[in-house]
């Protein structure tokens, strides 16, 4: 735990050199090697982090979160969002958490959108929040102006489960104009952050935060988004992880719906007009898994799992390329693909293989 808190203090989420070193040696091993400057890579990290190392005090960080009534979540904890492991080397080493809610992450949906939302968008977001709450679906968002805070208001008004993912520390409820709603979520629901208490939100932290929102929930829906909206980064992250993606259509004359229409046309997002569409997205995941398990059993063969992990979710690969990725022969790859197609995990289109989309999940 202490090693993870210390590494969280030292390494920024977008520090790829630190991520690579941590993947190679593990969190504890990487920290020890940096402190000892055990190799050139460790020396380079220690040189960059000289000031941070002088100020690193994991016990202080733990005291600070405890004063907020918070705690630290690490991979393997009961309340750790399991979807975060799909981020691979970009999985956070920990999350700072505060709030009493216990989330069933398999029944959670991320709802994101424009900060400059229209009254139409805010009304749709609030209705989605309250309707999802009534259906027992937890709602994940970022707490920003516009769509984020509208959906949280809807969830909280209906007594549902809200998860707010902050770009700064748990003590930096941002933006200040939403502080009352965010404080209510912190007291009654769940507020998470990759940044330790005391860290201010910055532009790059918002972008890094978006990958967490996309990964921790079972599906993502964009309510309103201009063509260059930050909400599209969350949508792209969700699509890249193979998460079901939805978008709410709007007036063709509205610039705040251009991004949603782009997702519907180019990202094959599901058209969402109400909470029922979102429930179908996540229920489709469960139904597909149950049907596959009941017919064939879950994928358990080690070779099949390696092939499945290497399959893209979009823009398929041919058998030879896939074999090269996994490090097996084309004959072995073909046999594994045959088994995966029987379980519904893999499909071939135009001679190229990819992962199967769950029912309603495209």
The domain segmentation of the chain, as residue ranges, is: 1-56, 98-283, 299-355
pLDDT at 285: 54
Contact 52, 7 (CB under 8 A): no
Q: Which CATH number among 3.30.300.30, 1.10.10.10, 2.40.10.10, 3.40.50.1000 corresponds to the domain 299-355?
A: 1.10.10.10
DSSP codes of every residue in 7-30: HHHH--TT-HHHHHHHHHHHHHHH
Q: Which residue, among 133, 138, 57, has the nearest Cα to 101 in the 3D structure?
A: 138
**Residue 68 per-residue DSSP state:** T
pTM of the predicted model as reported, rounded to 2 decimal places: 0.78
The CATH class given to the 98-283 domain equals alpha beta
Contact 285, 318 (CB under 8 A): no
Domains 98-283 and 299-355 share a fold: no
Mean pLDDT by 10 residues, the chain (362 residues): 96 92 95 96 96 96 97 95 92 97 95 96 97 96 97 97 97 94 96 96 92 96 94 93 94 96 92 93 60 49 82 82 85 85 80 70 42
Q: How far apart are CA 272 and CA 293, in angstroms?
A: 28
Helix (H, G, I), strand (E, B) or coil at 296: helix
């Amino acid at each position: 735990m202490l090693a993870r808190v210390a590494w969280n203090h030292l390494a920024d989420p977008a520090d790829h050199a630190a991520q690579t070193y941590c993947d190679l040696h593990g969190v504890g091993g990487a920290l020890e090697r940096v402190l000892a400057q055990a190799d050139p890579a460790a020396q380079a990290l220690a040189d960059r982090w000289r000031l941070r190392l002088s100020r690193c005090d994991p016990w202080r960080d733990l005291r600070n979160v405890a004063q907020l009534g918070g705690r630290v979540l690490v991979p393997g904890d009961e309340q750790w969002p399991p979807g975060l492991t799909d981020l691979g080397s970009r999985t956070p080493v920990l999350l700072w958490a505060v709030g009493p809610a216990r989330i069933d992450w398999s029944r959670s949906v991320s709802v994101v959108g424009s900060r400059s939302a229209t009254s139409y968008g805010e009304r749709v977001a609030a209705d989605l929040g309250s309707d999802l709450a009534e259906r027992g679906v937890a709602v994940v968002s970022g707490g920003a102006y516009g769509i984020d805070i509208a959906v949280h208001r809807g969830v909280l008004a209906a007594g549902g489960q809200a998860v707010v993912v902050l770009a700064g520390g748990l003590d930096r409820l941002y933006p200040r104009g939403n502080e009352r709603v965010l404080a209510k979520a912190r007291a009654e629901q769940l507020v998470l952050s990759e940044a330790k208490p005391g860290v201010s939100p910055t532009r790059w932290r918002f972008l890094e935060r978006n990958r967490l929102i996309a990964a921790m929930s079972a599906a993502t829906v964009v309510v309103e988004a201009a063509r260059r909206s930050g909400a599209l980064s969350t949508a792209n992250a969700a699509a890249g992880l193979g998460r079901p993606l939805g978008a709410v259509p709007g007036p063709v004359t509205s610039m705040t719906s251009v991004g949603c229409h782009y997702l519907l046309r180019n990202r094959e997002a599901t058209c969402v007009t109400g909470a029922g569409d979102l429930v179908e997205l996540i229920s489709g995941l469960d139904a597909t898994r149950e049907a596959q398990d009941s017919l064939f059993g879950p994928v358990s063969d080690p070779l099949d799992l390696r092939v499945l992990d290497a399959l893209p979710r979009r823009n398929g690969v041919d058998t030879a390329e896939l074999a090269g990725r996994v490090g097996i022969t084309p004959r072995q790859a073909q046999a594994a693909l045959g088994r995966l197609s029987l379980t519904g995990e893999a499909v071939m289109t135009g001679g190229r293989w990819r992962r199967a989309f769950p029912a309603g999940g495209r």
